[in-house]
Each structure stands twice: as structure tokens, then as C-alpha cells.
Structure 1
Amino acid sequence: MTQPPPPPPNQPPQQPGFGPAQQPRPPAPQPGYGYPQQPPQPAQPGYGYPAQPPTGPNPYAQQSGYGYPGYPGGPTAPTMPIPSKPKNNAALFIVIAAVVAIALIVGGGIWYAHSSGGDGKKDDTASSGGGTGGKDTGKDGEGGKGTEKVPANTTSKVLFQVPLPTTKDTTVTAGSWLTDKVYAKSGVGEIVGYDPDSGAKLWTVPLPGPVCYASGRVSADGRTAVVFQPRTPPKGSSAGCSQVAAIDLNAGKRLWTKSIKSGDIAVDFNNVTVAQQTVAVGGTSGGAAFDLSSGTVRWQPKPGDGCYDAGYGGGTKLVAVRRCGSGDTGQLHIQTLDPASGKVISEYTMTSGIDYASVVSTDPLVVAADVNDSAGDGSGFSDVFSIDNRTGKLRTRISTPGSSYAVRCDGIYEVEKCKGVTVGNDRLYLATEEHDGSGDGTRTNEIVAFDLATGEQTGQRADAGNGYTITPLRMDGPNVIAYKNAPYDKGGQIVSIDGGSFKETKLLENPVTVAVKAIETSLSPEYAEVLYSQGHLYMSAVYARTASSSSAGKEYLVAAFGTGG
């Protein structure tokens, strides 16, 4: 994905402007996650490509608590944060931490009027990838008993590494998935399948242009979907994010490629998900739903009501975040849809003044929003809404102030991109903000739980430990799988937290070497995609950069660790 020239060293990425076909831009979000405002930068050309990461020494190299740069998109996407520097991580490493910021072609729109009625179907979609976990089944965050076993030896070793490619221009590499047969990762204009243990290439699926967005959902038969550009454009421009493809991860095949048009113009998409056997794509210019196996259009926007589906949450159910109206009178409608027909099963209307919302979970239905920009940190996360899927009624609303909780949601475009939070046992599990530990100069945080029926804290609390910070990744049945960033003299860990007792069990611990610590810092959950399953930990980058912006040290697209038993 070709890009404008990089900003000066240590400057945050500047956001690309609108293209020639303009529409009213959405309300501007707050400045990014604690990052100070920067001096104006020269205007940047084109649209539909991510902004530049910082160059030179990495301002994020000293890792702190949980900050989420996100995968923001569009002309007013937030800038990236500089997390605070932990006092106990002195003299760490020069690395690059990058985020995806993909802008939107704002051309002629097609509108879809959802009709009422319809029934849902049983889900066969697992949550796997997209940067938040590993294999999972059943409801979001649920699925019966946990499947993760404690290895005989929890000490890991490096299984394999894939070097970070250098490119002529900044290129998105978002998307990583794990099945029983393969670990797959987006590269530069391709998706590659690797042997989960050795890293040997099993297959390569070439794409005509760079990836823009990747679903974090994988069907039970190992299929997922991506949005990508139709060609590789010249440097400093974009070909738009108009192509949707389904990928068979186990077979290493692109099953089909589709696009839709508004008049003669291909519609650009800003998110993609998989729900049951449906691929759904959305954005302000239009959306569509395709059969996962064949690519047949199941339903798509129709003109008429001045609303658009900003995006979708997938998995067990399909949930649309639908915006109607504009400005102060605009409202968001959270709709549970029949994936096959697009018919509305239930609907909850949010109050005016909430411009963006993120789907944290579709079953149970949990939505996050920054109400009246009250989070104060650009996180997109100040309140959580627990909604009944069947009736559309609000079960409870939970206040989750940005000063207390280290959750980061995109919400503006990729409505399924939240980090630092997971849902299971009809509970919401959140990472708290980092704070001083009990030791001299140490930092730490916790995971706490809220009841989704009452909105009250359950009293459960998992302490990261002195010098550690903890981030929930996903559920394993009733248990929370979390990543623990370690102090300089310890290795990062994967732990399982019992959903009842909240007892913590270590599943994996990385070796303490300079090289591994550098990887953990540059590919931590704040900035990268982290998957864990059955003693295997995969950490991967969402960006490939120009050779001129590379650091002096080694950088990796993928780093895999395993316990060996």
C-alpha cells in the first residue's frame, strides 16, 4: 500500500485527507490516546491508505501499561499514543511499534434499509486472530469447558521468526489466524500459511494489492475474509479498499473475490467480519453481505432512508452498527441481524450525541462507546452497554472511565477492534490502567470483572504482579486467557485466569534474552496481533515499512514461541 513521505523522526502519523469525491466528514474524534497535538504537517495526497508510523528511534520502545493505537481509519482518525515509560524497564531496546490507520474513499453511497423480522441461525464461527487471541468456539467468550492445557514445561523457546519485509512505501500487514493445521499471516500483497511448529511455508495466496482490513473471525471449517486494494498503486497514492475475498486457511486458497459499485464507482469498505456462513463488509459508502463459500451476494444496501451500516460485529451472531441522520441529531442503532437475509431480529437505539460505537461481543451483545467524548483519552471507551439480543432492550449500562480502564476501541470504522477487554460468563473483563506498584519504581495493573446483568463489579480481581502489566486476550471456555508484559529481568507470560476463583495459572513464559525482550516490546498486544493456543504464542506486526524508516536492529513480521509439551 503506497504511502506519502514519512513524517520527521518521532512525529506521530498525520492523517490523509479526503479524496476528490467529498461527502460530509464524520465528527472529528479527540486527539489520540494521550498524545500531544503536533505542529501542522504538509497535506498528504490520496485516500484509502494508512498513515505513516514514526521513524527513527521508537518512541514506544519503553513499554508501559495498556495503550491501544488501534486500527483507526479515515480522514480524522486519531493519532497514536506515547505510552508512559515504566520506571523499571530502563535501558531497553530500539524498536518500532506501528498501527494501521486506513482512510476512506468517500464517494457516492448506497443505502440499505434493514427490514424487520427474521431468525438467526446456529453459529459455526470461531473467533481466531485479528490480534486478540487464538482458537475459540461457541458464543463470544464462551463455549463450554476450557481447552487450554498446562504444558509439562511452561518455559518456551523460539519456534520461528519471519523477518519484517521492507517496502517502497508503508504497507498494511494486518491479519493473523490460527487453525488446527496452519498459522497464517498477511504479508505485503499476500497471505502466507506457515507450519505452526517449524514455520515452514505451507502455501502462499497472492493478492493483486495490499491488504486493508482483515477479519478476526474464522469459520469452523477454517475460512476467513479480507478487504484489499485491487492493485498496488504508485508510491504516495491508493487504489482504494474495494475488494473482498474469502480465504480457505487450511487449503491455502482464495475462494472468491467480489466488489460492489455505486453507479460506476467501486465502493470502498472500512471493515470486514464473518458471521456464521456470511461475510459482511461495511462503511459510509455502502456495504454488502456475501455467502462465505460461494461469494454470492446475500443482501446489500438499498437506497431510501438516509442511514448506513458503519460496520459489523460477527461470530455467533451478526450485529450492525447503523448510523441514521447527521450532526447532533444523528443516532446509532445497534441491530442484531439474520446473517443470511439481513433482516433485523432486534434493535437498540442509542441516545443522540454518541457518534461511534464498537461491538465488544455479539453473543452476549456488548457495545462500547465514548459518550460525549468523556473518556478524555481518545480511547473510544467511556461506557459499556449490555443489550438483550432477543428484544433489543438495554440490560445495563456500565461506566468505564478512561482514567481507570486501559481499553482501546477504534469504533470510527473498524467496529470490532477493541483491545484490553473480553467477554464471557455473562461478565465483562477489563484491564485497568497502569499504576505504581508496591516495589520501588515499579508499575502494575489488574483485570477486573463486571456483571453484564447488573452492571456491578463482581469483586474478582487478577493482579498482574509487581513490575508486570496484564492484558486480557480472549476467553477459553469460562477462563480468561491473558498476556503479561514482564519487567526487564523476566520473560513475558501467557496465563489462564479461572472464571470462578480468578486463580491464575501460567501456561507459557518466554526466555529472558535481549533479542526476545526486543520482540516482546515491539510486538506486544498494544501494537500488534497476539495469538495463543495450546502452548504456542504468535506475535505479529500490522505494518511493513520503508527501508529508510527501519531501525538498526532486527525486526520481525512474525515471532513464534512454543513450550514443546
Structure 2
Amino acid sequence: MTDQPPHDQQPPTPPTPPAPPNGPPPGYGYPQAPPPPPQPGYGYPAQPGYGYPAQPPTVVAGDDIRARENRTIALIILAAVVAIGLIIGSGVWYARSSGDGSGGKPTGGGKNGTRTVTGGKEKVPADPTADLLFKVPQPKPGDNVTTTDGSWLTDTVYANTGVSEVVGYDPADGTKRWTIKLPGPVCAGSRHVTPGGRAAIVFRPSVPTRTRLAGCTQVAALDLVKGTRLWTKSVGTDDFAMKFQNVTVTRNTVAAGGLEGGIAYDMATGKVLWQPKPGDSCSDIGYGGGTRLVAVRKCGPYGNETLSIQTLDPTSGKVLSEYKMGAGISYAGIVSTDPLVVGADAGEAAGGGSGVSDYFSIDGRTGKLLARIPVPGDAYEGECDTITRLEDCKGVVAGEGRLYLATGEHKDTGDLGRTNEIVAFDLATGKQTGQRASAGKDRTLFPLQMDGGNLLAWKMPSYEHSGEVVSVSGADFTSRTLLEIPGDKASHDMVSGMPVEFVKFRFGHGRLFMSQANVAKPLGLETERNLIVAFGTHD
């Protein structure tokens, strides 16, 4: 039985602005004129003798301070959530319940009716109840909030960033397989892993102190199968070194970007494929990887910038297609490169701190805008970092011609509890498909990742229910439970103490891995914080 809210509680479908016969209207997020043919971008060979700027760029120092302040604010919020959970949890516990009572059977559905769930690789287990596979206590971070960005899952290893290290674990039991030591903490890790099990990171050359915070200047490629650092590169030296805020991988290319521009390396050798050109008024502030390489490129002086979304040849950097964002948009986050979807704040209209007022569906082959999807902050969840880690979009997933978003929480039917749904938008038209997957009574859903044609989502724990990973069928929106967290209090506390806003989720082969995005000194009410918790089913 599906718990569907009444029609008057469903968030309204945002209107899609009508497009004139010759293209979208001018204004925020739309080009003022048809974009010209793609021009050469960073597709030139590395310039001999290029090293570093003539003087330290002041904008980077401010960025480091802003990044540190943002992480501190996030930590304070996280600590408050954990503290509240512990206080409430000390006096309240819940009765064991298997999800929404479906026992793993299909729930939900849309106007297309119920059909057999197909299209995903993840197996629906006979019993979705999971066991705790392993947990890794939070390491000592020192005096500063330390970023632990970077989490990867392959068929043979689960790898995660620690404090100035990357560790590979046996995904079945957490046994350490290898450790890559680093001179400083990791600033950013690639969202993707190559088919051969390689990833990339950006890290600091030294451990931060109270008097000095070294910039994120070091780019490295990692072999996650062998547990080795293939190479480490930087541009310039010491305070004059180029700083990066994001990194990605695609095919045999590592691309790192930031406010000073972007650079690309050959994955195998570390050879520079392209890099900033002295005097260039444009810069790649970030990249999205995977099956395609997409650049977010900014041109022009501060206050009069223009932003472009470019599909690049990963080897040469040649621009294959380009979409020019309209006036009023200075930053964009990459939801997906294939299909190509970006999120942006048009005219500072984003609500709730999401960083996104609209999602833009773009034809990656031609650069043509397919659809613009407005997302009022009070109607939908989901957020993107549109300033530094441009591939860090959470609670929003794109795949198989659709954009999946969680609705905002609303009052449950006939109850004081809260619930929400996941809805889908057609990327070709920007219109809702009419299907929705309900979280159920007193539950909320959070989109995680695609599994073939299906969507994987996290059904958050409540006082009466364990957390679950569910598979939402792309065909008919029926929902099946793939994994359910054990019902004991210890497991519930572990999961509840890791809010979705600050957690990296990885799921595969019936195993769920959750890891903290930052670590810091425990505050007064905290007795234990874990860096990683992992659960797995028996099938």
C-alpha cells in the first residue's frame, strides 16, 4: 500500500517559460543571441617556459579563507544535528520495522501502471536486512576542520580519504589493503573512477597550522587497484603555485580547475595536455568527468563575466560544443555530463541555500539548450556547489533522459509527521513526467545515483524505521528495498549521526558505504564519531 499525500499537498509543478519560435527568450539564464560556432578554448599545447603568475593572486587567498569558513559552518551545523539526535535518542527508541511494511515488495508507481522492475544491475535480495560490515572511527584531525573529500568504490576495493592519506579497504570486511600517505590533507577527490580503477585528487603540500594554510596546489593520479600514487604535479612553487578547487577524470585524462583556471594531464604519465595561457581573459573554473569531459568556462572582468558550458575532447582540450549561459549567471554546478545537465542560480533567485534556481538540460553534441527547469527552493530539495567543487551536486540525479528531484518535505496525510516524494522531469521538454515515488508515512527520500535505468535513493531513518536503500524503477516508478540498516540502537545511532548533507554515499553489489565529508575535534556531547560505516546484505 502506498502512502500518497492528497493532491493539495503536492508541490506545484513549476511552469516552464515558453520559448519563441527562434529560441529561448532573453533574460536570466538564456543567451541574448544565438551562440556563435565553438571557438578554440584550452585546446592548445602546453606553453614552454610557463610557470606561475608574476605575483600572488589575491582572489585565491580569499577563496581559501572562504572555503575554510564554509567547512567550519558546515561542521557546526553537523555537530548540532548530532547533539540533538543523541539527546533525543537517549530517551526515545523505536520498534523494529521493515521499511514501510512492504517487505521489499513493489510500492509507489505512476500513471503508467505497475510492471516488472528492469533496467538495473543491483539485485533485489530475498531479505534486505543488512549487517554491519565494518566501521572506521574518525581520526584525529588536529586543530583545524579537515576535508576528507574523495570516496571511490570498485569491484575489488572501497577507498576513502583520511587525514593526509587515502586508504583502500576490502569492501566485504574493511580489512586495510593499502595506504597512500600524503604530506597534507586532501582538498578534493574525483567523483568518478576510470574503468581501470584510477581516480585523482587535489591536496595541500603540508599540514595546515595556526599560522599557515598551504594552498590546494598538488594534483595526483591514484591507482586504486594497486594502491599507488602514479604521479604528483603542480604549476609554480610555494605561494605562487596555482591553486585548484576541483578535479575529475575521464578516459585517460585528469582535469583540475579553480578560480585561476584549469589544467589537464595524461592519466598514465602526468604529461600536461593543456593549461592556462598567459594573458588569457578566460579560464576553466571547473570540470565534470565520466564518459564525457565538460568545462565550466568563465570570461571577462569581475562584475561583467560570461559563463559557458563546453564539451571538450579529453586529449586535446578542443571545444566540441558550447552553450553560453545568459546574463545574471556567474557560476554553475555540473549534475551530469551524459546527459549534460547543470544547475545554476539565475539572478540570485535560489532558495534555501541550494545554490540552484534552475537546471539546464543541454545537448552535449551541439550545445543547444533543450530545457530549463525552474526549481523553487520551497518545492524541491537538491543543491549544487556552484563555486568551488563544481561536480558536487547532492539530492539531484540525471540519467536515461530524466532529472530526478526530491520534493520538499510536507505534512503527512492525517499525521503530524513529515514526508516527501521523488519526481522526474523529462530532459528534452523540462516537463514533469507525471510519475512520483512516495517515501511513505513519516519517511523522506534522497536521490543517490543511477543504476542503469533505475534510480537508487536513500530512505532516511526515523524514530520508527531503519534507513534503507531503495531502487526506483525508471519504467513505472515502483520501489524495491535493496538494503535495510539493522534495527539495533547502535546501528541506528551510527546512521542518524551522519546527515545526508555531509555524507558521501557509495552503493554497489548490495553494500552501502557512508563516509564523512569533514572531520574535526569532537564536541562536548559526542562520545563517538565514525569516518566510515559500511553495511551489506546476505545475498
TM-score band w.r.t. shorter chain: 0.7 to 0.9
Matches within 5 A, 1:343-492: 343-492=318-467
What are the Cα deviations for residues 377-410 of structure 1, in whole angstroms up to 9, with x where unaligned?
Answer: 2211111111111111111111111111101111
| Counterpart residue identity of residue 481, structure 1 | L
Any idea what SS the aligned residue of 2:494 has? helix
Pair 1:159 & 2:119 matched? no
Q: Specify whether residues 264 and 553 from structure 1 end up closer, same or farther in structure 2 by C-alpha distance, changes over 3 A only.
A: closer
Alpha-carbon deviation of 1:329?
Answer: 2.5
Distance 1:194 1:171, change over 3 A: same
How many Å apart are 1:279 and its aligned residue? 0.5
Distance in 2 between residues matched to 1:220 and 1:93, nearest whole Å: 45
Going from structure 1 to structure 2, the CA distance change for 1:486 and 1:263 (only over 3 Å counts) comes to closer
Match of 2:33 in 1: none
For the 8 Å contact 1:215–1:274, the answer to whether it is kept is yes
Q: Structure 1 pair 495/250, CA: closer, same or farther in 2 (3 Å)?
A: same
Residue in structure 2 matched with residue 52 of structure 1 by the alignment = 72
**Amino acid in the other structure paired with 1:534:** H
Q: CA deviation at 1:486?
A: 2.3
- TM-score w.r.t. structure 1 length? 0.76
1:168 corresponds to 2:168: no
The residue type equivalent to 2:480 in the other structure is: T
In 1, Cα distance between the equivalents of 2:419 and 2:67? Answer: 40
- Whether contact under 8 Å (1:27, 1:355) holds in the other structure is no
Aligned pair in 2 of structure 1 residues 49, 62: CA closer, same or farther (>3 Å)? closer
Rounded to whole Å, the distance in 2 between the matches of 1:55 and 1:47 is 14
Partner of 2:164: 189
Residue 50 (structure 1) shift: 6.3
* Equivalenced residues, count: 457
CA deviations 1:303-354 (Å, max 9, x no partner) are 2441111100111111110111134431101110001011100111111211
State how far apart, in whole Å, the 2-side matches of 1:366 and 1:260 are. Answer: 30
Distance of aligned partners of 1:390 and 1:552 in 2 relative to their CA distance in 1, 3 Å threshold: closer
| Residue pair 2:502, 2:518 contacting (<8 A) in 1 also | no
Give the corresponding residue for 2:220.
Answer: 245
Other-structure match for 1:302: 277
Query: Out of 451, 460, 474, which is 1:499 matched to?
Result: 474
CA RMSD of aligned residues (A): 2.6
Q: Deviations over 1:484-536 (max 9, x none)?
A: 00221211000000001000011011122222222212223221111111210
| Structure 1 unaligned regions, length at least 5 | 1-19, 29-43, 64-84, 95-143
Deviations 1:439-475 (A, max 9, x none): 4221111110000111110001001111111011111
The 5 Å alignment of 1:195-214 reads 195-214=170-189
Equivalent pair of 1:467/1:486 in contact (CA under 8 Å): no
Corresponding residue for 1:552? 526
Show the counterpart of 2:21.
Answer: none
1:210-245 superposed Cα distances (whole Å, 9 cap, x missing partner) = 111111110001000000011113235311100011
Larger radius of gyration: 2
Secondary structure of the 1:517 match is helix
**8 Å Cα contact 2:258/2:388 also seen in 1:** yes
Structure 1 residues 174-224: Cα deviation after superposition (integer angstroms, max 9, x where no partner):
111111111111001111111111111111110111111111110001000
Q: Deviations over 1:247-271 (max 9, x none)?
A: 1111111111111128982101010
Q: Aligned with 1:162: secondary structure?
A: strand
Structure 2 gap segments, 5+ residues each: 1-54, 92-117
- The alpha-carbon distance between structure 1 residues 466 and 56, as it changes in their structure 2 partners (threshold 3 A), is closer
Q: Partner amino acid for 2:124?
A: V
Tell me if structure 2 keeps the 8 A contact 1:328–1:352.
Answer: no
SS at match of 1:480: strand
Aligned pair in 2 of structure 1 residues 450, 193: CA closer, same or farther (>3 Å)? same
TM-score (norm 2): 0.80
Does the 8 Å CA contact 1:330/1:353 hold for their aligned counterparts?
Answer: no
Q: Secondary structure at the match of 1:147?
A: coil
Distance 1:431 1:481 in 2: 12
Deviation at 1:276, TM superposition (A): 1.4
Counterpart-to-counterpart distance in 2, 1:341 and 1:57: 42
Compute the displacement of 1:61 (Å). 3.4
Q: Which of 503, 521, 524 is residue 496 of structure 2 equivalent to?
A: 521
Contact 1:486 1:492 in 2 (8 A): yes
Contact 1:213 1:271 in 2 (8 A): yes
- Please say if residues 71 and 518 of structure 2, whose CA atoms lie closer than 8 Å, have aligned partners that are also in contact: no
Q: State the SS of the aligned residue for 1:515.
A: helix
Q: Structure 1: which amino acid aligns with 2:510? A: G
2:340 and 2:363 in contact (8 A); partners too: yes
Residues 47 and 552 of structure 1: CA distance in aligned 2, closer, same or farther (over 3 Å): closer
Percent identity between the two aligned chains = 50
